[in-house]
Structure 1
Amino acid sequence: MKVFKVITGACTSFVLSSACASPVDLSNALPNFFGVGIGSTTEYAGGKDRIVGVLPGMRYVTSGGHLFEWYGTYAQYNFGSLTGFQWGPALALRLGRRNVDDPVVSQVHDVSNTLEGGGFAGYEYSHAGDVPYRLRGEVTVVTNAGAVYTGARVSVNTSAWFPLHTRVFIGGGAGATWVSGGFNETYYGVTTEDAQNSGLPVFNPGGGLNQLTGWIAGIYQLSPKWYAGAMIYYQRLMGDSAASPIVTQRGTRNQLTYGAGIAYAFQ
Structure 2
Amino acid sequence: MSRPSVETRARVLAAAAFLVLQVSSGSAADLSEGTRPATQDRVVSVTAFSLFGPKYLGAERYGPFGYPAVTIRRPDEPFALDSPDDSLGVPILDATQFKLGPVVNLRQGRNTSVDRRFAGLDRDPWAIEGGIFADLWVLPDQLRTRAELRHGLRGNDGFAIDLSADLFERFGAVTVSVGPRFGVLDAALAQRQFGVSPAASSRNGLFQPYRAAGGLQSMGLTSAVSYDWSPSWRTTLYGRYEHLVGDAAASPITRRLGSVDQLTAGLGVTYSFHANLPFIP
Q: TM-score, normalised by structure 1?
A: 0.78
Retained in 1: the 8 A contact 2:176–2:225? yes
**Among candidates 34, 49, 56, match of residue 61 of structure 2:** 49
- Aligned residue number for residue 178 of structure 2: 172
| Amino acid in the other structure paired with 2:180 | A
- Aligned residue number for residue 96 of structure 1: 109
Moved more, 172-181 or 140-149: 140-149
Moved more, 203-212 or 136-145: 136-145
Aligned positions, number:
237
Shift of 1:177: 1.8
Q: Deviations over 1:148-174 (max 9, x none)?
A: 423x1122111122134x222321111
Retained in 2: the 8 A contact 1:73–1:93? no
| Amino acid in the other structure paired with 2:225 | G
- Aligned residue number for residue 99 of structure 2: 86
Retained in 1: the 8 A contact 2:127–2:154? no
Whole-Å Cα distance in 2 between the matches of residues 207 and 148 of structure 1?
A: 15
Whole-Å Cα distance in 1 between the matches of residues 152 and 160 of structure 2?
A: 9
- Aligned residue number for residue 113 of structure 1: 126
Shift of 1:212: 0.7
Shift of 1:138: 1.1
The answer to whether residue 152 in structure 2 is matched with residue 144 in structure 1 is: yes
- Aligned residue number for residue 183 of structure 1: 189
Whole-Å Cα distance in 1 between the matches of residues 259 and 223 of structure 2?
A: 21
| Amino acid in the other structure paired with 1:135 | L
The answer to whether residue 38 in structure 2 is matched with residue 38 in structure 1 is: no
Whole-Å Cα distance in 2 between the matches of residues 121 and 161 of structure 1?
A: 17
- Aligned residue number for residue 16 of structure 1: none
The answer to whether residue 226 in structure 2 is matched with residue 211 in structure 1 is: no
The answer to whether residue 208 in structure 2 is matched with residue 196 in structure 1 is: no
Q: TM-score, normalised by structure 2?
A: 0.74
Whole-Å Cα distance in 1 between the matches of residues 219 and 102 of structure 2?
A: 23
Unaligned runs of 5+ residues in structure 2 are 12-42, 275-281
The answer to whether residue 89 in structure 2 is matched with residue 76 in structure 1 is: yes
Q: Considering only aligned residues, what root-mean-square deviation do their CA atoms show, in Å?
A: 3.1
Find the residue that maps to 1:249 and give its secondary structure: helix
Whole-Å Cα distance in 2 between the matches of residues 33 and 56 of structure 1?
A: 10
The structure number with the bigger radius of gyration is: 2
Find the residue that maps to 1:197 and give its secondary structure: helix
Retained in 2: the 8 A contact 1:226–1:264? yes
Shift of 1:44: 1.0
Shift of 1:216: 1.4
User: Per the alignment, do residues 73 and 107 of structure 1 end up closer, same or farther by CA in structure 2, a change over 3 Å counting?
Assistant: farther
Q: Greater share of strand residues, 1 or 2?
A: 1
**Among candidates 250, 256, 265, match of residue 257 of structure 2:** 250
Shift of 1:95: 2.7
